[in-house]
Amino acid sequence: MHLYHLTLQGQTSINQAVHGSFTGASKQQEVCVARGTTLQLIFCDPKSGKIQTLCTQDVFGVIRSLYAFRLTGSNKDYVAVGSDSGRIAILEYKQERNLFERIHLETYGKTGCRRVVPGQYLAADPRGRAIMIGAAERQKVGLHLESRQAHKTYTLCQGMVGVDVGFENPTFACLEFDYEEIDNDPTGENLKKTQQHLTFYELDLGLNHVVRKYAEPLTDLGNHLIAVPGGQEGPSGVIVCCENYLVYKNLGDQPDIKCPIPRRRNDLDDADRTLMIVYVFKVTLETDEDLVTEMKIKYFDTVPVANAMCILKTGFLFVAAEFGDHQLYQIANLGDNDDEPEYSSRMELEEGDTFFFAPRSLQNLVPVDTIPSLCPLINTHIADLAREDAPQIYAMCGRGAGSKLKVLRNGLEVSEMAVSELPGNPNAVWTVKRNVDDKFDAHIVKKRRILDLSPLSRQLDVLLIGDDSMLQVYPDGIRHIRSDRRVNEWRAPGRRTIVKCALNRRQVAIGLSGGEIVYFELDMTGQLNEFTERRQLPGEILCMSMSEVPEGEIRSRFLTVGVSDSTVRVISLDPSDTLAPLSFQALPSPPESLLLLESSSEDGKGVSTIHLNIGLQNGCLLRTTVDSVTGDLMDTRTRFLGTRPVRLFRVRVLNKDAVLCTSSRSWLLYHYQNRFHLTPLSYPSLEFASSFASEQCAEGVVAITENTLRIIAVEKLGGAFNEVIHKLALTPRRMVVHPSANTIMMIETDHATYTEQMKNKKRNDMANDIESLATDEQELELAREIAEGMRNTKLDESVFGTVKGAPTRWASVVRLLNAKTGDIHSFFELPQDEAAKCMTLIQFHAQPDTLMVLVGCAISVRLRPYSHRGGCVYTFLLSNSGDKFDLVHRTPTEEPVTAVHDFRGMALIALGNRLRIYEFGKRKLLAKCENKVKLL
């Protein structure tokens, strides 16, 4: 046996994102994102506001850094990639091949994510003349045709950016720490004296070497560098993002411009904590000739904490979130005309003071689309808790108030446009255009009427034939309706009926009862002519199919027929040997339906490929390739789709033909990013379907299920799962599943935050303090108004983040919810500073008829330096139906509880370096024995 490892879904987190015009299209920008080992190019459609994936390419290495740059005079951008390969690669996107092509590869170090091998930081000269790639420690490499190195030992790099200096020698700015004195000082005293430096490096284009031009110690620790436009567009230089401050710096006579970062007003956060940017602020630099004289900052809007943000020229803001789903926003306003106060570096403040702002809902940004992400994925459980005959994946992911329980189902997400109940139970539906040049189907564009004639005349098929004629096939004959309302009719021979048919715009093949095939073809005058040749088959005809007429040709070359002797036959439609048999294939079950598709290559060049899709009555789908010359069948692949016979329908996906397969579950077979995908639809089973196009839905499907007519669309292609989201309050840690009910019990814990009870107490205390400071009736009335607003104003923490407390503060909850609906059955909030660490289901042998849940906790844990105030174990009684739990008792412990497990009807609990067994007691758990483990 050979096992093959295959991921069900690619990585969803985005660690790097850059934007540019990689396709070279005028006034169009794309975003290139790195997902671990995968490089992906996405396009934000300005018309629909939707995110489209243009290209996904595996680079077979861990992408550590990305940078987009444009060569002088070029009309497109290139991508520089730093990875764990010890090389820097320059990539160009080739639109005709839909992939990134390597145009330059430079080796500079060993493989692996090493701290002394460049690859962690990447920056480019804004004029596209040079690139610098740096390591976390010591090494930096400047690239301009030939690589030049600028190494400095005992140096840690924390940020790198290219400085816009026009067409002078390329200059790069770095945040660095020199730790040589620290490394040689065993007392640790030099650690307190060491300062971070902002260092400028210059790549001399004449001498082709890198020089360390200037270094300046920083008073405030910096964590990020932002390059300021230079040349004719701005004053150049960099903005250093520090804790609590923004500082503008530049070479020459430019003085430092320092501006505090505003803090949330009425915030419950710990007042002693440092402040780093999470919100989006608008920063304006005022200049006097070449010198910056003032920095202004104002609150713009709030977005998720991001690994990268890209502002596109098309008016979009793409946010690659650090945790949770990635967001695309439309920039509706620039924040010029709002009432938000703007603060200046010229405003005088005492040292340590700052400005304040009030968080609010989005005003300048409009959310338009989302890319789902499971990062960080904390825990999963796979089971069919929803009783859907297919397992679901229950994934705990996210951080803080933005955490979620995501229920993943294998299948494409379906958008339901309309559902209409029909009289009776129709069994077929078609869509027809009035003219071949029409963009949309006539019944939507003209009368909004669905053409479904099967209950009236037992229609077999209906299709637009020629340019503007309609063809109806029914058991007794064929009706050809011309655009001038002339009707030509062909009648089936006596005592014989039409059982099956296959149509395209120029050809018609019908199968008569008894196994005979009759063939028609449209001539140049628009007349449908019958061929004299007929073909008798050794059995009844069960299904037929022919492909659409290929572009540049006048007919399809093959007709495929499924016969009751469990065979499928390929028949020629060439005028020289019309209806001559070419090949056949035996099937494991009688065929239910056939669909012949002819697909061209991605670039539109080369020979097209013909695929025959065979739906069998045993629920299997066979996909085989048809030789375009001989008609031979080869390379057959089988997939089981469901318990009902498989029916196949031609639909349009990404402007290409695709196959909608219906069985006990509906599936979509489509071509996406250079490969075929066969994915189920997360939607009720369909019975009959047809392609559908309208102004509101360019590529949809109109389908029938029992007595309802449904208009649906599949938009999020390429994914293996669709998700249902249940929001959580804190970061999820563990979960257990009831063995017989469809309920999940979980613990959620967050560090440096408060419980809801403590938040309400702090709000009331702050409000009471404001009221107590009032000295007269007028001040008291104003104070009461402010205090009431403080008590009642509660921000949505899933948007604005949880309140940040002191390092020893913890908040935890225990939740029981319905796995199918997400309804919360029971909820228990632990006291302040008790951190839930572990949980398990236990059936104590002293209580054999009850199921209990044990939750282990730590109390007032400080992570660094490590300290605690003991721990405890909560015992909850879970009801037999699994729809609620009740607290039984709380057992204190002298050490934090880090693990708990069921062991022979007792509880095995880890306490520091001890393992202890507990038995159930009426007032608390009873310790029976313990074993002390010697830790190395």
Query: What interhelical angle do 777-792 and 756-772 show, nearest 10?
Result: 170
SS (H, E, C) 718-766: CCCEEEEEEECCCCEEEEEECCCCCEEEEEEEEECCCCHHHHHHHHHHH
Look at residue 453 and tell me whether its pLDDT is greater than 60.
Answer: no
Look at residue 272 and tell me whether its pLDDT is greater than 80.
Answer: no
Q: Summarize pLDDT for 710-752 with one digit per residue, the tens.
A: 999 987 888 889 999 999 999 999 999 998 888 999 999 999 9
**What number of other Cβ atoms are within 10 A of residue 880's Cβ?**
11
Contact 276, 311 (CB under 8 A): no
Contact 298, 276 (CB under 8 A): no
CA–CA gap between residue 928 and residue 919 (Å, rounded): 7
Q: Summarize pLDDT for 379-403 with one digit per residue, the tens.
A: 999 999 988 878 999 999 999 999 9
Structure tokens at 183: 């490394």
Look at residue 446 and tell me whether its pLDDT is greater than 50.
Answer: no
Distance of CA 599 to the CA centre of its chain: 29
> What is the DSSP code (8-state) at residue 782?
H
Burial of 39 (0-12, 13-18, 19+ CB in 10 A): buried
pLDDT of residue 278: 64
Structure tokens at 301: 């809007």
Query: Position 100: which residue type?
Result: F
Read out DSSP for 633-700?
A: EEEEEEEE--SS--EEEEEEETTEEEEEEESSSEEEEEEETTEEEEEEBSSPPPSEEEEE--SS-SSE
Structure tokens at 137: 């420690």
**What number of other Cβ atoms are within 10 A of residue 183's Cβ?**
11
Contact 476, 457 (CB under 8 A): no
**Position with higher pLDDT, 638 vs 469:** 638
Look at residue 607 and tell me whether its pLDDT is greater than 80.
Answer: no
CA–CA gap between residue 811 and residue 800 (Å, rounded): 18
Average pLDDT across the chain, whole number:
88
Query: Which neighbouring-strand residues pair with 903?
Result: 906
Give the pLDDT band (50/70/90) at residue 365.
Answer: very high
Burial of 422 (0-12, 13-18, 19+ CB in 10 A): middle
pLDDT of residue 402: 92
Q: Identify the CA nearest to 246 among candidates 193, 201, 282.
A: 282
Contact 235, 131 (CB under 8 A): no
**Position with higher pLDDT, 536 vs 436:** 536
pLDDT of residue 445: 32
CA–CA gap between residue 177 and residue 716 (Å, rounded): 46
Please compute the mean of the pLDDT values over residues 832-838 and round it to a whole number.
Answer: 96
Helix (H) or strand (E) run with residue 457 in it: helix 454-457
Query: Position 918: which residue type?
Result: Y
Please compute the mean of the pLDDT values over residues 891-902 and round it to a whole number.
Answer: 96
Look at residue 76 and tell me whether its pLDDT is greater than 50.
Answer: yes
Structure tokens at 268: 């419950």
Q: Identify the CA nearest to 174 among candidates 192, 191, 152.
A: 152
CA–CA gap between residue 522 and residue 504 (Å, rounded): 10
Which residue has 């106060």 as its token pair? 341
Helix (H) or strand (E) run with residue 788 in it: helix 777-792
Give the pLDDT band (50/70/90) at residue 149.
Answer: low
Structure tokens at 421: 């109940």
State percent of the chain over pLDDT 70: 96
Query: Position 420: which residue type?
Result: S
> What is the DSSP code (8-state) at residue 828?
E
**Position with higher pLDDT, 174 vs 72:** 174
Helix (H) or strand (E) run with residue 317 in it: strand 316-321
Query: Position 544: which residue type?
Result: M
Burial of 479 (0-12, 13-18, 19+ CB in 10 A): middle
Please compute the mean of the pLDDT values over residues 157-175 and round it to a whole number.
Answer: 92
Burial of 905 (0-12, 13-18, 19+ CB in 10 A): middle
Q: Summarize pLDDT for 645-704 with one digit per residue, the tens.
A: 999 999 999 888 999 999 999 999 998 887 889 999 988 889 999 988 888 888 899 998
CA–CA gap between residue 420 and residue 730 (Å, rounded): 42
Give the pLDDT band (50/70/90) at residue 917.
Answer: very high
**Position with higher pLDDT, 84 vs 146:** 84
Those residues whose C-beta lies under 8 Å from the C-beta of residue 789, and which sit 6 or more positions away, are none
Please compute the mean of the pLDDT values over residues 135-139 and round it to a whole number.
Answer: 88
Structure tokens at 475: 């058991």
CA–CA gap between residue 146 and residue 131 (Å, rounded): 11
Query: Which neighbouring-strand residues pair with 814?
Result: 747, 828
Helical segments of 194-348, H only: none
pLDDT of residue 458: 59
pTM over 0.85: yes
Look at residue 211 and tell me whether its pLDDT is greater than 90.
Answer: no
pLDDT of residue 565: 94
CA–CA gap between residue 729 and residue 74 (Å, rounded): 50
* Residue 191 φ/ψ region, left for φ over 0, alpha for ψ in the -120 to 50 degree band, beta for the rest: alpha
Q: Summarize pLDDT for 464-503 with one digit per residue, the tens.
A: 888 888 888 999 999 998 888 889 899 998 889 999 999 9
Please compute the mean of the pLDDT values over residues 85-110 and round it to a whole number.
Answer: 91
Q: Identify the CA nearest to 726 among candidates 803, 802, 621, 824.
A: 824
Those residues whose C-beta lies under 8 Å from the C-beta of residue 607, and which sit 6 or more positions away, are 601, 628
pLDDT of residue 813: 97
Structure tokens at 773: 């400071």
pLDDT of residue 456: 38
CA–CA gap between residue 815 and residue 732 (Å, rounded): 10
**Position with higher pLDDT, 214 vs 188:** 214
Which residue has 């390591």 as its token pair? 135
Q: How far apart are the first and last CA of the chain?
A: 41
Name the 3-class secondary structure at 771.
helix
**Position with higher pLDDT, 47 vs 909:** 909
Burial of 249 (0-12, 13-18, 19+ CB in 10 A): buried
Give the pLDDT band (50/70/90) at residue 81.
Answer: very high
Structure tokens at 551: 């572009």
Those residues whose C-beta lies under 8 Å from the C-beta of residue 811, and which sit 6 or more positions away, are 730, 749, 750, 753, 754, 755, 758, 829, 830, 832
Give the pLDDT band (50/70/90) at residue 280.
Answer: confident
**What number of other Cβ atoms are within 10 A of residue 906's Cβ?**
20
Lowest mean pLDDT among 110-119, 556-565, 916-925: 110-119
State percent of the chain over pLDDT 90: 55
Query: Which neighbouring-strand residues pair with 94?
Result: 99
CA–CA gap between residue 786 and residue 209 (Å, rounded): 62
pLDDT of residue 266: 67
Q: Tell me the helices (H) and strands (E) count for the chain, helix number first.
A: 7, 69
Look at residue 295 and tell me whether its pLDDT is greater than 90.
Answer: yes
Contact 242, 218 (CB under 8 A): yes
CA–CA gap between residue 222 and residue 904 (Å, rounded): 55
pLDDT of residue 605: 58
Which residue has 């596209």 as its token pair? 128
Query: Which neighbouring-strand residues pair with 500?
Result: 511
Please compute the mean of the pLDDT values over residues 571-598 and round it to a whole number.
Answer: 93
Look at residue 601 and tell me whether its pLDDT is greater than 70.
Answer: no
Look at residue 104 and tell me whether its pLDDT is greater than 50.
Answer: yes
Query: Position 251: which residue type?
Result: L
Distances (CA, A) of 903 to 290, 291, 908, 912, 914: 74, 72, 6, 19, 16
Structure tokens at 614: 């065979």
Look at residue 817 and tell me whether its pLDDT is greater than 50.
Answer: yes
Contact 696, 417 (CB under 8 A): yes
Q: Identify the CA nearest to 501 among candidates 513, 493, 489.
A: 513
Beta strands of 766-850 (E only): which ranges?
A: 810-818, 824-829, 834-842
Burial of 902 (0-12, 13-18, 19+ CB in 10 A): middle
